[in-house]
Structure 1
């Protein structure tokens, strides 16, 4: 290419052999400028990147040269550059790196026209809302607007850092001096990585003073940016981006240490991070990640350099409205659909408005839920700053099938019914039937899913139930008849209406109007009579039921009292009435049942103790027919007794006393707890082992000198209160969490008083103090794994439990940390544990989920198996308490899948005359491909490239396959470009102006000296010249040193190429003077 302008009288011309570029030192310099520096807003469609670009004094005269439009912060899969093609140029969009190449011979005006017609377009439905920076530059380097510097990546495997430094220093770019790149910002680091495959040496080392990392090249030479190893830190806020655990200055087996900075290519390291290596890198592992691949050269920044205008910049603000491309939607009636649906949320900076707003849950959000009852077109207007756009979403609503049946059907048991939901396209019953109609005879729910011609479905159920036996309403039906042998019934039913026909199952019963609901029954004698009813319900279902009617005598209670005998001690009673059937006699003394039995018509009742107004009574129940009578007693009993201290805490010692109006001959005390005494005033100790108050009934039987007896009972004469049971709601042999709640656990209640002993706790460990209540005690025990908790309870009656305590044991307290939880294999994860209290001594055991285990607080594990998630389990055991705790982290570690790389070369060997090989990609699971043809050419991202090799030789072609996770896998195959044949000149002259034209020499890059032989023959076939090196040619002289006569001479050559293949050629050459 050429850069030219008006020249002065004295012209200094600089030639650049790699580009064919010429520019002159004059008043009009070559320039690439964008006079419009305003940010352009991108709303939709395509937009020109630099419509006003100015390219002056540049001429490109080689087809392989041209210009590049790069997106500095390129978003792969989202950004693209398109163009209106200018004839004569070759366009290439490099999707992997995000730049457009324009190549071909052309003037400044032609390139200005081509560049000005390049458009930016955003392909994403949800674009990344950030400015895009563009640079327009020549092809031979990348320009970063942020630094205003140019960059170039030089690929050279195995190069030393010192060699890379010197090589970079010997380069220049149109007058800008080169140097190993110095990276001083994240933007520069990202740019180098993404734009120029920045895997290689950079201009930093600590070779002078270990741990003092400085930039040692370029304008920043001597600037320290880091001090120390991986535990060190930045100096003066300078930028650095070391990988985890770097720099670490690992000593090498050959004696060197690591003093030189390198950008990582290991996919298992932090992407774009740095590493320290020895000057040779990992020299003994050429296939490893740390073998040098090349170096990054930076141009610009020195004060004495020319002010080049070989790059222009532009900024486009992306404000495209996010709309989904799924805009024609179909649902069934009653369903909902998400409008403008995205797989990921959109920016909150967008504003949306939906019309119509009816049947939309939120009409002012990006993706509302719509439930239209009919087909509807929804229009959404989106705004972002000055960008406004609209889109229509058509929701087609198909009708749902409708079930044409009743919600319930009633049939008689044993019958069947045909269920028919109506005519539709298909049917699926829960019985797995697929017919329109089914016949059922079982009481159950029956459900069918209908599908219509629109594939819409609806599911509905109907219930088929059997008609049930009508239930008699006994509320108005008298089935017990007392004192009569005739009864008119009132038949009614609780569940619906029914008709009846009544039949007697007894011979001596007569029914009048048996088919009515009010039949009359007459019987000959008292007794129980059974009847059968034929019942027909409202659904004409027939049932049989039975009915029992009882006819009995109505008894009359009459009895006589004999008060004379044993007056003051007991009464004798005699029944004087009549019963026809067995009857139950219940005799009462006052309100207490004294004796009950069948046909007990006489009775003797003690008068007992106490005061006056006593009574006796009798209730007779003759087969359900009842009568009763109560009579007052005028005789006064002579006995009274009591407890001196009737209430207290267990054990309770109680003394009993009595009074009588005459002398008592003997006593018999029953204390109510199984013990008795024949003393007149006994003392007894009561025990209450339970948890509730116990009341004891005390009975005293006395016998007079005449032999008359009287018995009295004092109900609940003695009340004994228990001592509360004391316990706590935790066990000593169980381990608990740090935060727990403890309750008093016993027989005490809220009226009791609870005295807690919490002296082993630190004040801030008690979250809720129970005071004198039963709890709860809430605490967070973090200071010590063991704590003693005590309590004493005093009941509301003053019964004391005594002091009770229990030891609480806490599980180990620890936290888990991971330096990473996902990545490409091998994934080395550093696990760490911290014991959270200073007292406990804890052992840790690990299960990493990949059949490997570990122990200790800080461990690491390397996961190799790809495309798998691993569970991690940590078991902690306290050596103080024996308590264990387990943390289970399900699917905590994710090892990304690794693609499979493979390819074929067709053919594997070609001649230099046609050095083109087609590579067919056979990789699996990859989305990005990177081809390295081992010939110093640029890397290729084409999936199936066709490559032309510039030179002969063996080439180790490497394909690196990259998937969406950034995981890589490489395959390598050797191909060769072989020698074809030599094409020597057909004439030469020893008197030629140019040195190279003064001898006849046959040489080629593919020929080796070993086995080389060139023979020159005269006209008689005699060999008079021989050379065994392609460096020595025939200068036209004969063996005697004189020039041979002018004329035609025959030559024969034999040689080996670099592969060892043997060749032989012959021809003629004309010697002229």
Structure 2
């Protein structure tokens, strides 16, 4: 901070000492010299210059000439004929683009000598292709002068100085009566002069300390705006132009911590002369340590009107833009061009040829074909290379061929084509629509389900005869087929039918008839083609299978509910108990007692099975204990069958008793002796057919 303080004291002394003789009017400088510059040459930047000064102050220590706008590293300011100016030394600073003229002896140089020397200051550029314009400021003080603002800018060194200290010191300083403040940079010109063309980088007057992320100028005339709140120049939008101009470095401001103050980035970090945000004190060392501040003079209320500086400029002649023209078929066309400076001339050849016109626009003679003209500008004795500008004649095209009609079998996307005599094709849905569906000599339609007509128009640039050619799409129906599955019964032949008449047929067997007979299982197919002009083909697949043969495994009788159990089941089986009424379920209810027959068959009637069974429900146990309940074993409905017999066995197969319509029950004895509790077996026969029902029951005592 001691270094910063001493630097500030020195600067204040230097500035204030400039203004001690307040009775002495400051000099007034005027100059002319807005000229054209020929690449590769050297040009005096001042044509006339005057310095009006107080008679009591006829000399100065130094004068400065700076390239204040447009400066490039190829530019050079030099003092010609130095021997004619023995009292003056020159010092060219390429980093700032500034030429200093000062005393060669330490004695102040008269303004008249400075005037003579300034007239000998010349500009040159070593680039093979220089461009643009340059503004030169001629000023008495060391501060950089920018003609477009009329303000002065100075970098003040101060290692480690805080933003608030820099702001305070800037506001204490004056320059020939102009009040100082931390610089507010409102344009790229100001930014480049104070950033790229400065001896250092430092604080400027931007801050977001009031509202985070809302940057405003807090110093100078801009700091007085918005009732003293300051002009907002950035609130998260991209870098822009005045009054919202900003020139942040890459990824800045990053809003880290308390980085609320704007600072010109150190040289070599990111974009030259750009800004970043720092905390109040910045870092203690390195690229993000404050190295000073930029002070700006001018624009404050009450500032005097000074003419301490003058400016001249040079412009490098160039054709800045050209505007070609086009027309359908033939006629007159008007070409246009703009130049940085000079007189614009039009020619019919790239070199030599005839001068056919001048000025920013040129109307051609009547043209039937495309013709190229050439334009250049002449200023200050130099002429630029000629730039080609084309007057285009576009012949109105016609459509020579199309692929209409386009036919397709079945719904699809279709490619349409049309050939123009020149140019290209625009495609439309109808003859008057303004909505283009596509452009080009081919067009892929959307998915089409029906006949549709599209329209093609030939265009060449904006030239068209305005007549559209229809291109039709015919969608032919495909033969409607349904795949089938056929069942082969044993080895009997199966007839396969294409299912459509009036077509042509080709079977996978080679047959060409609507129907064929096959004797083997397998996959067969037939391609079916409709008559001309459609000639659309569909393929029908027929699978010939041999089904599972139904086989009854057993009949399960539960009182009056009967379930048919199969060895293998299949969805194409159906079931019946009377061979008349068939059902998909294997379960039958409310089945009457007696001998019944179960039937199962496939739905193709190829295979079947049947089995007789008895519906009768012998009790599962009895208790012969003379309590009046279940004292005998008796089978309900047994007596309704005259020839019925029930034989009862013990576990060793010994016949214990035979029941009949005359002997309906058993009391659990054998030879009038009670038998023990155990399981006993029975066989029920209702007639002489041999159908029987076997089972067992328990005797409980």
- Fold shared by both chains (TM-score > 0.5): no
TM-score (norm 1): 0.30
TM-score (norm 2): 0.44
Between the two structures, name the one with larger relative contact order (CA 8 Å, sep ≥ 6).
Answer: 2
